[in-house]
Structure 1
Amino acid sequence: MGDLLLLSPTQMRRIEPFFPRSHGVPRVDDRRVLSGILFVIRNGLRWRDVPAAYGPHKTIYNRFIRWSRLGVFNRILAELSARGGGTDKLMIDATHLKAHRTAASLLKKGLYPDVSDGPEAV
């Protein structure tokens, strides 16, 4: 897998307790699938563009959706951050989002909840 991301066995052992148990049919290798998920997210790819070495893109996508809904990633991050202890560093994210010009009308159409304290738009 050359330049591809693959979690080490030590890393997998730390997070394995947070994965749901398999019911019946054995699952595809969790290490390979999770590595594929991280590769897609890290590189900003579409699921379809994941390298074949990680397995079928549909499997990787389905596992990401299922685990997200079950809160697997939230539990992993909470546990790893709790084990990490305190730090003297502060990280600032410079990410920004561009909204399409039609996004401004979502509030008027009732498709987005109004959470502001200001007066209603007429």
Structure 2
Amino acid sequence: MNRDHFWLTEEQFRRIEPHLPTDTRGKERVDDRRVISGIVHVLKSGGRWVDAPPDYGPRKTLWR
């Protein structure tokens, strides 16, 4: 993991996880922890979604 990137801790994700959907159909869900960390990274950095580091997964997923 890059030191400049934001990553949710185990404790932070444990608190968020009960609020995530569990009954989804269709496409398999992506790694929620990775995507949420990417969203927070972009919001904290003030950057553009398109410039999000690829470590967080598809940029379009972060944006949506």
Q: TM-score, normalised by structure 1?
A: 0.48
Give matches, 1:100-119, under 5 Å.
none
Of structures 1 and 2, the one scoring higher in RCO (CA 8 A, sep 6+) is 2
Gaps of 5+ in 2: none
CA deviations over 1:72-99 (Å, ceiling 9, x no partner): xxxxxxxxxxxxxxxxxxxxxxxxxxxx
Tell me how far apart the structure 2 counterparts of residues 58 and 25 of structure 1 sit (CA, whole Å): 15
Tell me how far apart the structure 1 counterparts of residues 31 and 50 of structure 2 sit (CA, whole Å): 19
- The number of aligned residues is 62
1:14 aligns with 2:15: yes
Q: 1:77 is matched with which residue?
A: none
Q: TM-score, normalised by structure 2?
A: 0.86
Question: After TM superposition, which residue ranges in structure 1, 4 or more long, deviate above 4 angstroms?
Answer: none
Report deviation, 1:24: 3.7
Max Rg structure: 1
RMSD between aligned residues? 1.2
Tell me how far apart the structure 1 counterparts of residues 27 and 43 of structure 2 sit (CA, whole Å): 27
Q: Secondary structure at the match of 2:28?
A: coil
Tell me how far apart the structure 1 counterparts of residues 41 and 19 of structure 2 sit (CA, whole Å): 20
Identity among equivalent positions (%) equals: 50
